[in-house]
Every structure is written in C-alpha cells, then in structure tokens.
Structure 1
C-alpha cells in the first residue's frame, strides 16, 4: 500500500505561495513601469510642443536650428526609453502569464492526488506517475534549455544559435544607451563602438551608430560626429535612424563651417525623407534658410 507523505501538500503549498508572490511582485513592477511610461509620455508631449513652437517662430525664434535639433535629440531619447520600458512591461506580462499556467498545472496535479487518496489510496502511486510530467514540466520559455538544444544541433544541422546573440545584443544595446542617458558620453562612446564591433549585423546596429554620433555631437566633436552620422546613413539606409543620421550630418557639417556640404546633406534629407516627422522637416528647412542654401 502506498504511504502518503504529509509533507508533500505543504511543500506544494509553499511553492505555490512563492509563485503567487512572484506573480504579485511582477505585477507591482508592471504597474511601476507603466507609471514611468506615463511620465515619459508627458515629458515627450512637452518637448514636442517646445520643438514645434521653436520651428514655427521662424528665423527670429529663440532657438537656432541646432538648438532645436538638440531638443529633438532629447525627444528621441525619451522615445527610446519608452520603447525599452514597453518591452520590459511585455516581458513582465509574459512572466505573469507563465506563472499562472504553472499554478494551474500544480493545482490540477494536487487535485488529482487528493482525489486518488479519497478513492482509497490505491491510485496514489498511479496518480503520482501520471501527474509527474505536469508538475515537473519546465516553464514555457526555457532560455537555457533552448540554447543548449540549439548548440547541440549546431554541429550536425549547421544552424547557428540565433536566440542567445539576439538577447545579448538587446542587453548590450540597453547598457550602452543607459550610459548615454546618464550623460556619461565617453563611456557611452566606448560601449556603442564595442556594440557595433560585436553586433553590427543586428537590428539595433543602425540605432547604435546614430547614438554613437550623438556622443560626439554633444561634446562638440563635430568632425567625428559627421563621420559617425555619415556611416549611419550609408550603412543603415533602410533603418529607422537613417533620417536622423542624415539630418545630423547636415548640422555637423554646418558646425564645421562646411556650409555647402551641410546644404547638400539637408537637401538630400528633404528629398529622400519627405515623409519624416514634421519637426524634422521644419528643422531642415529652418537650417537651410539660416545658411541661405540655394
């Protein structure tokens, strides 16, 4: 006759409590992140209004085109932070969902065991055997397990491990961008350079190249900024930061007193990216007016 271990329900209860606490904690983090997104949205709206007002003021406005571009750069940083926070919220929601699924499986397993005991105890052993896979089933997103499986197949199937590099790229990009947010521009420069050397073929590369240029631009290193922005435009022309890179290339050239090249860059921006946000179009037109471009 199968002996019932009274400690098992207690252990299950303790584990379930830990899962519930983890889900509650994740939910609290979710709420906190949502609050941060709301605050960033308010900041973004304020900056966008300031940028719009500056572009509507014409040549006699309080801000030069470069000053307005700096304001737009701040807007871009806030948008980047919002995307990052939104991604974190999605990850937390996924974790909460997975935790709930694990709780449901555990509850079903415990119910099955108690039903077996109530029927006479003879089915307890069978219940344990049948219920074990559900109780021991790993989470639906086993990162380490998936990575091991892919690496194990690499030699025979010839498929490179895709998931781990993508995750590493996202983490490395986030680390570099956090340095930029802290205004630690030398460290951010180093981090973005390292990122581009390692993850230059990932979806984050175009953005990283643009922000590398910004680390130079904000420090007045306009020659290096021009090179970085030119690379961002040429190498990642189809990327989301290509318009920004070309626009800032024009401003960098203007800072270097290379007015002709600045005018050419801004004219190319207007021709190629006519559908860019209005604030960018207005900035380019304002700069061309100030430089008296033909």
Structure 2
C-alpha cells in the first residue's frame, strides 16, 4: 500500500514532466516548420525572379528573331520591287545611245514602315515606335504583320512604363503607360484572335496588371491563357506565375 501511495503521489509530477516534454517537442516542431516555410518562401521568390528574367530573355530573343525575319523579308521585297537596281548591261556600241534607266518609285512597302517602327523600338524610342506601328496599321490594316504591329504597340507602352519607373519619374506616368499597355494587348486578342501573338499578348497583359497592383485580374488572364493555349510557349510561365499568386 505504501508503494502504491508513493506511486500515486509521484504521478502528477510525471504527468507534468511529460507535458513539458511534449510542449517542448511541439515548440521545436513549430520552429522547424516556420524555418522551412521561410526557406520555401525565399526559394519561391528567387524562382519567380529567375522566371521573370528568363521571360525577358525569351521576349528579347523572340524580338531578335522577328527582326531578322523582317529584315530578310524586306531585302527580298526590295530586290523584287520595280525600283531595284537592274543588272549592268553591256556597253552599247559606239554611236548608239545607252539604254534608259529603269523608272523608280518612291512608294514605301509595308515592310519598310514596319521595319522603321521596329528599329525605333529596338533603340528605345518607344514613343516613335508607337507612332510608327500605328501608322502601319492605319495604312495596311489587313497586312499579315498587322497583329505583330498591334502587339508591339502594347510592348512599347510596357517598356515605356518600366523606363519611367526606373528613372524615378512620376508614378502617374508609369501607371498611365501600363494602362495603355493593357488596352493595346487586349486589342491583339480582339482584333486578331487567330494571330500568333495572342498568347504572348495575354501573358504580357497579365504582367502589366500585376504592375498595376491588380492581382485578381492578372490571375484571371493567366488562367485564360492556360485554359485556351495549353501548348503556347508562355503557358508554363503563366502556370508558375499563377502558383506564386495563389494565397
């Protein structure tokens, strides 16, 4: 009986010690979980930043590829136009007048107008590029490069907004340029729904919405891109961006 009473008296002490050990173990688990969560957050932030850089690299490479294609096309058109230099003919015999030169025309081809605007964009002349691409659309609304021209108007406004922000200029200028970028990217989808620039325009529209602090609208556009263009190059980027945006 004495031993039983002793055991019963020591039971609360044992329970208290066990509870303390459990509390300590739980606290340690909480600390580890918090550390792992913080580390995961850092890794996700780093991954998101890396994806943003890669997205910019892809856009730059795409722009360079477009530039090369349009240069080649412009050269082919220039070689075939009526005013192109003709092969040098043999000298006329003495006493005969030389053959008259071929007539030339001063008309610009659509590719010339497009290329001039694209060169302005590539040099950072975004306002000039916007004017040039709009002039192209006004003159040649049904040209095969019309959807590209509309896309580059949006890209020009997006780049203009970033240049304002990087220069530390007024926020309202950057905000206005971002809003214009959203509108111009949407015109790609509305006016050229079958154009090859539609997926890129949707993704860039979502990025502009994020810069405008409109994450809900950005998530909607990213999900639209994923659902409607599952094989587009921008779709994996959209999935990663959407995952990072989820609460």
Give the alignment's TM-score, normalised by structure 2.
0.63
Is 1:217–1:252's contact at 8 Å kept on the other side of the alignment?
A: yes
- The structure 2 residue matched to 1:195, chosen from 136, 155, 159, is 136
What's the CA shift string for 1:107-151, capped at 9, x where partnerless? 9xx8xx9xxxxxxxxxxxxxx9xxxxxx96997xx875xx9xxxx
Distance 2:203 2:191 in 1: 15
Helix, strand or coil at the partner of 1:218: helix
Distance 2:197 2:104 in 1: 30
Instruction: Tell me if structure 2 keeps the 8 A contact 1:58–1:286.
Output: no
RMSD between superposed Cα atoms in Å: 3.4
Which 5+ residue runs of structure 2 have no aligned equivalent? 1-42, 162-176
What corresponds to 1:168 in structure 2?
Answer: 109
Match status 1:253 vs 2:209: yes
Q: Match of 2:120, SS?
A: helix
Corresponding pairs, count: 188
CA spacing shift, 1:172–1:92, aligned 2, 3 Å: closer
Change (3 A) 1:85 1:195: closer
What CA distance in whole angstroms lies between the structure 2 residues aligned with 1:199 and 1:88?
16
Higher RCO (Cα < 8 Å, 6 or more apart): 1
Alignment partners' CA distance in 2, 1:252 and 1:192: 20
Judging changes above 3 Å, is the alpha-carbon distance between structure 1 residues 189 and 91 closer, same or farther for their aligned structure 2 residues?
A: closer
| Structure 1 position 271 matched with structure 2 position 227 | yes
Structure number with the higher helix fraction is 1
Secondary structure of the residue that 1:195 maps to in structure 2?
helix
Change (3 A) 1:143 1:286: farther
Note the residue ranges of structure 1 that are not aligned, 5 or more in a row: 1-56, 114-127, 129-134, 148-163
Q: Which residue does 1:207 correspond to in 2? A: 148
Residue 241 of structure 2 corresponds to which residue in structure 1? Answer: 287
Conservation of the 8 A alpha-carbon contact between 2:74 and 2:112 = no
Deviations 1:76-102 (A, max 9, x none): 21111110232245457769xx956x7
User: How much has 1:194 moved relative to structure 2?
Assistant: 2.6
Separation in 2, partners of 1:255, 1:66? 13
**Matched residue of 1:245: which SS?**
helix
Counterpart Cα distance in 1 of 2:52 and 2:191? 24
**Which residue, out of 123, 131, 135, partners 1:182?**
123
Distance 2:44 2:110 in 1: 42
**Structure 1 residue 70: deviation in Å?**
2.5
Check the 8 A contact 1:59/1:286 in 2, yes or no. Answer: no
Aligned-pair CA distance for 1:216: 1.1
Counterpart mapping for 1:89-238 below 5 A:
89-90=75-76, 144=105, 168-220=109-161, 221-238=177-194
Taking the aligned partners of 1:189 and 1:202, their CA distance within structure 2 comes to 17
Task: Note closer, same or farther for the CA distance 1:92–1:205 as it changes in structure 2 (3 Å cut).
Answer: closer
Secondary structure of the residue aligned to 2:69 is: helix
Q: 1:225: Cα distance to partner? A: 0.6
Residue 57 of structure 2 is aligned to residue 71 of structure 1: yes
